[in-house]
Structure 1
Amino acid sequence: MTITISWQAYWELFQETIERSQHPDPDDAIDVVYKYPQALGQGYLRQIELREGLVLSILNLQLSDRLIIQAPEREHGFEWNFNFTGQSQNKLAAISDGRYIFYGSGLAPKETINCGIQPALGVGFEMEPEVSNQLLRSFVGDPDGELPPELQSLIRQSDQEYCCRSGIATQAMQIVARQILQCPYQGIAKRMYLEGKVLELMGILVAQEVEIQNSNSNPLPLKPDVVDRIHLAREILLQRLDNPPSLIELARQVSLNDYLLKQGFRACFGTTAFNYLHHYRLEQAHHLLKTKNMKVSEVAKAVGFVNQSYFAAAFRKKFGLPPKEYQIQQKKSV
């Protein structure tokens, strides 16, 4: 079954949960946890207004059915969302486990947002257009407030469709996202800490945008059928976690030469094929350790790591804890 709902009705359902909302921080009245509307699923949306026009969100939910939200045209500021788990898709991009989506300011188009039924955990922030525009200009604008050419696409007029990009979250992004979830402070210290994390994310996003625009000065043209083959290559990799093909073998399976596959994969997904596979394996291992009663060695084998020492080191580098310690921590929290 699929639930279809308008943008306005979706947010009105949240307003109906205000009486059941909670304040996890007694020193912060505008740090609010809203129960997710029971008509749609279970979970919560936590919103922390760090300052006027800047809201940090943490979403943890399980939808009861696939959800389609019909959104109208609307003025839009900066927005960044990262999914630890969960899937959704709009007109311009898709987001799933370990991926992020980023919007500049401008016009959000009329669109249909499709949300999958997988358990979803994510963090994000939204800035109103005036706030986002002032912030970017204050940091990187010239004396007249003009942005460098490579960043001008991030700020568009209210009648121009915003820029949008998505990709696999870098390790730096994922570290900041986890630090937001695990914020150790309350009150004023919490707000300063979290706003600093938003600025850190903005720095990462600006650096990426500069790199993307510079690389676009000599872009690799990809025909639609080539893009389809590159996406097929990704699916083959993810289906063969325990025994992935070599780059040459993978290229042969999708009828591309290995150079085009290598360059095209980076163009489509922002990283190499096997770096993508490496981080996907770790995300799957993280999910198994959290949700399944499996030994660490079994998890490592299930996601394709032959060397357990290497798996433990890679897991700790990505998530901050060795896999066994993470598993013990999860069992205690249940």
Structure 2
Amino acid sequence: MAITISRTDYDELWRACNPAPLVSSHSGYCEQIEVVPEQFGEGYIQFIQLREINLALFNYQLHHDLYIRDEVFGAAWEFGFNLSGNCSGKHTGENFIEWGAYEGEGTWITYANDPVYKVDVHLEAPDALFQLITETLEELPVEIRQHIEDCNRNCFDEINVITPAMRSPLEQIFNCPFQGKTKQIYLESKCLELIALKLEQIKATERSPGTLCLLKPDDVDRIYVAEKILKANLDHPPSLMELARQISLNDYKLKVGFQQVFGTTVFGYLHQHRMETARQLLTERRMNVREAAQAVGYANQSHFAAAFRKQFGVNPKAYVIKGKIGLGL
């Protein structure tokens, strides 16, 4: 079953469900949380107004596929990151830029097969980005550079995959440990980090035009299964050949396809996820250094410490001590 609704009726249901949305104002920023109407699903969208940046955090699950009919016009200066969820032509694991003026009719579809877990970074004015990247503008592809310089052009989309480097600030935004002015500075820095990573991805794509093999939708699904297998077996990961066998792909297509989907090698991804998992275990004080090392597959604690230091610039023991001091323990 699917729900089809006009944008006007959709917005009215949101207003009726959130007659007095939870709003909190702080020095330098404001946040508002709106819950999803029960007719559609459950969860929330959180809007955070920062300096020249509107940050939107989506965390909800639909009961049914949702089709919104709309007549739209305006302008978008947005970077989006779909950690999970298939919305308006963007899918799980994809990031995108929408930039420029738009108008016309359309149907915006959000599917109920995956929970929606995403971050949108909206710039209030296009010149905010232009001022940030003036010195590196010449390094961007011609089409994107022209759109940034002339914001009155028709809107364009640029879609790519979320890289492991992007996942860390995305999760940190959702789990921001600060309040007040510190939270504002922290979130702004993470938004700028995401913008920088996205622009670097665009430049890298331009330098290395697509020579990779074409992947069928079923191949992409299998590569996402491979990712889940790696995450579930950090302590004893399968070999490349074994992983390929488990997802019924040959090892070449797995290697090339994984690089294409995730922007890194299979074991480059595994290493980064191991380090990030270990960091979370230490941050949440659920494990000591030895236990965290074993949990992510390191039998040798000194090898783990070296890898952790290379990834985060600090020894794991020093990281734990620093965290305790910050918490006043």
Is TM-score (shorter-chain normalized) higher than 0.5?
Answer: yes
Cα distance change, pair 15–36 in 1 and its aligned pair in 2 (3 A)? closer
* SS of the residue 1:33 aligns to: strand
Mapped contact 1:251–1:261 kept (Cα < 8 A): yes
Deviation at 1:333, TM superposition (A): 8.9
Structure 1 runs not aligned, ≥5 long:
none
Aligned partner of 2:95 in structure 1 is 101
Pick one of 144, 155, 163 that aligns with 2:158.
163
Pick one of 204, 208, 216 that aligns with 2:197.
204
Deviation at 1:271, TM superposition (A): 0.7
Structure 2 runs not aligned, ≥5 long:
none
Q: Percent identity?
A: 29
Q: In the alignment, does 2:316 pair up with 1:322?
A: yes
For residues 76 and 36 of structure 1, the distance between their equivalents in structure 2, rounded to whole angstroms, comes to 23
Cα distance change, pair 168–218 in 1 and its aligned pair in 2 (3 A)? closer
The one-letter code sitting in structure 1 at the alignment partner of 2:79 is W
Deviation at 1:126, TM superposition (A): 0.6
Q: In the alignment, does 2:15 pair up with 1:12?
A: yes
Aligned partner of 1:77 in structure 2 is 76
Bigger mean CA offset, 207-216 vs 108-117: 108-117
Aligned partner of 1:32 in structure 2 is 30
The one-letter code sitting in structure 2 at the alignment partner of 1:170 is A
For residues 216 and 197 of structure 1, the distance between their equivalents in structure 2, rounded to whole angstroms, comes to 28
Cα distance change, pair 250–103 in 1 and its aligned pair in 2 (3 A)? same
For residues 325 and 137 of structure 1, the distance between their equivalents in structure 2, rounded to whole angstroms, comes to 36
Deviation at 1:112, TM superposition (A): 0.9
Aligned partner of 1:301 in structure 2 is 294
Cα RMSD after superposing both structures: 5.0
Mapped contact 1:101–1:165 kept (Cα < 8 A): yes
Mapped contact 1:285–1:299 kept (Cα < 8 A): yes
Pick one of 203, 214, 217 that aligns with 1:221.
214
Q: In the alignment, does 2:89 pair up with 1:92?
A: yes
* SS of the residue 2:256 aligns to: helix
Aligned partner of 1:48 in structure 2 is 49
The one-letter code sitting in structure 2 at the alignment partner of 1:79 is E
Count of aligned pairs: 309
For residues 319 and 297 of structure 1, the distance between their equivalents in structure 2, rounded to whole angstroms, comes to 19
Cα distance change, pair 322–249 in 1 and its aligned pair in 2 (3 A)? same
Mapped contact 1:21–1:33 kept (Cα < 8 A): yes
For residues 81 and 299 of structure 1, the distance between their equivalents in structure 2, rounded to whole angstroms, comes to 32
For residues 225 and 43 of structure 1, the distance between their equivalents in structure 2, rounded to whole angstroms, comes to 31
Pick one of 269, 272, 283 that aligns with 2:262.
269
State the TM-score, normalized to the length of structure 1.
0.65
